[in-house]
């Protein structure tokens, strides 16, 4: 399948993308994970992106399109892809449209994960992430805790709070989402490819997506 996951920070894009990729072998492409790995590895891209990310602002569209233009042409994308955190602005969505056309591909579905603000705020302050760049398993200190000494249950690396999970950065990320990303809901609605799902259960969301794709 080729799908785009839309939703506010904390809506569950990463969790759902991981479940979907296990389900049918499509590759999860998370621009957030790609950027965090670049920051950790101190690459040129990472150095350019770091400040924006720590403040909870969006990285410039041109940087994102350079990454995605190359990523979508890698061989593993032939099996399908789940875009998690991209596109995040109208210019990115327009650029994606052009890129897909060039590659002769179409999207099966755009999913909007519609989660109430209180749930989002609670999740973002209690979320923890595995620090292993090739794992990045997501935990929650209330509902899905790591081991008692704070290690990842999958790979054993330390589980940490992300640098952009301070109260100030979270506030900025939500404002940025409303201004820049929420308009994409209308954008894809007009194209007829949008499915909104308001559930906080991962199983229900995955089942809803599977059903919509079969139609």
Q: Which of 20, 45, 53, 111 binds ligand ADP (CB under 6 A)?
A: 53
Q: Does 35 bind ligand ADP (CB under 6 A)?
A: yes
User: At 196, which helix (H) or strand (E)?
Assistant: strand 194-197
What tokens does 79 get?
């099996």
- Label residue 124 exposed, middle or buried (CB < 10 Å: 0-12, 13-18, 19+): buried
Q: Which of 3, 12, 32, 65 binds ligand ADP (CB under 6 A)?
A: 32
- Rounded to a whole number of angstroms, the minimum distance from the CB of residue 164 to ligand ADP is 6
Q: Which of 85, 112, 129, 197 binds ligand ADP (CB under 6 A)?
A: 85
Give whole-number Cα distances, 130 to 17, 43, 73, 133, in Å.
16, 21, 28, 8
Catalytic residue status for 128: no
Q: Which residues does residue 3 pair with via DSSP β-bridges, in sequence order?
A: 82, 109
- Rounded to a whole number of angstroms, the minimum distance from the CB of residue 166 to ligand ADP is 12
Catalytic residue status for 88: yes
Which among 104, 88, 112, 107 is positioned nearest to 3, based on CA atoms?
Answer: 107
Which among 10, 17, 4, 20 is positioned nearest to 126, based on CA atoms?
Answer: 10
Q: Does 146 bind ligand ADP (CB under 6 A)?
A: no
Q: Does 64 bind ligand ADP (CB under 6 A)?
A: yes
In the bound state, the residue with its beta carbon closest to ligand ADP is 32
Map residues 96-135 to x or -, x wherever contact with ligand ADP holds by CB under 6 A: ----------------------------------------
Q: Which residue has the tokens 């999970």?
A: 165
Size of the site for ligand ADP (CB under 6 A): 18
Q: Does 173 bind ligand ADP (CB under 6 A)?
A: yes
* CA–CA separation, 108 and 49 (whole Å): 30
* CA–CA separation, 164 and 173 (whole Å): 9
Contact positions toward ligand ADP, by CB under 6 A? Answer: 9-10, 31-32, 35, 52-53, 56-59, 64, 85-86, 88, 92, 164, 173
Residues acting as catalytic residues: 13, 88, 127, 162, 173
């Amino acid at each position: 399948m080729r799908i785009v996951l839309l939703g506010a920070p904390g809506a569950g894009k990463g969790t759902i993308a991981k479940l979907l990729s296990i389900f049918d072998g499509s590759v999860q492409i998370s621009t957030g994970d790609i950027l965090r790995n670049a920051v950790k590895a101190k690459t040129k891209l990472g150095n350019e992106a770091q400040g924006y990310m720590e403040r909870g602002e969006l990285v410039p569209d041109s940087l994102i399109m350079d990454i995605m233009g190359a990523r979508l042409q890698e061989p593993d994308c032939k099996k399908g892809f789940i875009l998690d955190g991209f596109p995040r602005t109208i210019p990115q969505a327009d650029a994606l449209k052009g890129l897909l056309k060039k590659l002769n591909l179409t999207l099966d579905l755009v999913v909007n994960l519609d989660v109430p603000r209180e749930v989002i705020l609670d999740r973002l302050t209690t979320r923890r992430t595995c620090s292993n760049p090739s794992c990045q398993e997501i935990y929650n200190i209330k509902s899905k805790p790591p081991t008692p000494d704070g290690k990842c249950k999958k790979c054993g690396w330390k589980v940490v709070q992300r640098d952009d999970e301070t109260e100030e950065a979270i506030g900025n990320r939500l404002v940025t989402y409303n201004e820049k990303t929420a308009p994409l809901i209308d954008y894809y609605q007009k194209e007829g490819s949008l499915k909104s799902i308001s559930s906080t259960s991962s199983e229900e969301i995955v089942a809803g997506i599977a059903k919509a794709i079969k139609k």
